[in-house]
Structures are given as C-alpha cells and as structure tokens.
C-alpha cells in the first residue's frame, strides 16, 4: 500500500522513472545479446523472431516501448527542472510525459499487430 504522503503526482512520476529505468537496465543487455545473434547465429535469431511474432509478446513489447518512452520524456522533464532557470508546471509536465509515452507506445502497438 502506498503511504498517504506519497499519494501525489510527482511522487508517482518519481516511482515510474525509477521502475522504468530499472526495467530498461534489465532489458537492454538481453536486447543487445539478441541483436548479436544476427552476426553469430542466424538460425537462433530467426527462431526468436518467429517466437516474438505472438500477440502476448507484442503486448509485452508495447510495455517495453512505454517504459522506454516514459523514461525518456520523464528524464527530459527532470533535466529541464534541474538545468533550466525555470521550474514550470511540473505536475502537468509529468502528466504530459505519461500521455506522450502512451501515444508513442500505442502507435507502436497498432503498427505491430
């Protein structure tokens, strides 16, 4: 359960940024290893690509694209907060980061299926 003093948009934005960053740190080594198969083991890559053509995997990829996008846009928000002499409407910017990420990952998903 999330404690009462944490129930506000910027704390959720902080949580989302940490969770998405950790998930991407776990994902990227696997992603690069998979890309390396193109050079080292073509058959294994073809098997993997066939496996990744399932609906469930595509739904998981939607989640990955969302996490990547929300980490990117949320990170831009934090960079703007910390490097520009202007603090901006942070709640609105955090909401915009989530909205843009849903848009990007939604477009990816519609193209994938």
Partner 1 sequence: MSTGGVMTVAVWRGGPEGSAFQEFRVPGQKSQTVLDVVIWIQQYRDPTLSYRFACRVGMCGSCAMTVNGVPRWTCRTHVKRVAKTGRIEIAPLRSLPVIKDLAVDMDPFFEKWVAAEGRFHPQRTRDQPVRETKPQTRRRRQADAAIECINCAVCYAACDTVAASPDYLGPAALNRAWSLLNDDKDSGTEAILAAAGAKGGCHSCHAMGSCTRFCPNELDPMASIAGLKRASIAAALKRKG
Least distance CB 2 / partner 1 (angstroms): 10
As a dihedral over the C-alpha atoms of residue 55, residue 60, residue 63, residue 65, rounded to 10 degrees, the angle is -80
The reply to whether 6 sits near partner 1 by the rule CB under 8 A is yes
State which of positions 80-99 bind partner 1 (CB under 8 A).
Answer: 81-83, 85, 87, 90
Check binding of 5 to partner 1 (CB under 8 A): yes
The least distance separating partner 1 from the CB of residue 88, rounded to whole angstroms, comes to: 9
What distance lies between CA 17 and its chain's CA centroid? 9
Q: Which residues of 30-43 are buried (b: 16+ CB within 10 A; e: fewer)?
A: eeeeeeebeeeeee
* Residues lying near partner 1 in the complex (CB under 8 A): 3-6, 8-11, 13-14, 78, 81-83, 85, 87, 90
């Amino acid at each position: 359960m999330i404690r009462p003093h944490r129930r506000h948009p910027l704390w959720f934005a902080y949580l989302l940024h940490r969770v998405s960053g950790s998930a991407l740190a776990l994902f990227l080594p696997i992603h690069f290893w998979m890309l390396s198969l193109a050079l080292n083991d073509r058959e294994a890559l073809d098997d993997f690509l066939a496996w990744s053509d399932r609906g469930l995997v595509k739904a998981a990829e939607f989640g990955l694209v969302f996490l990547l996008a929300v980490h990117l846009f949320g990170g831009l928000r934090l960079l703007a907060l910390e490097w520009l002499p202007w603090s901006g409407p942070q709640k609105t910017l955090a909401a915009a980061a989530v909205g843009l990420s849903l848009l990007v990952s939604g477009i990816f998903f519609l193209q994938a299926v």
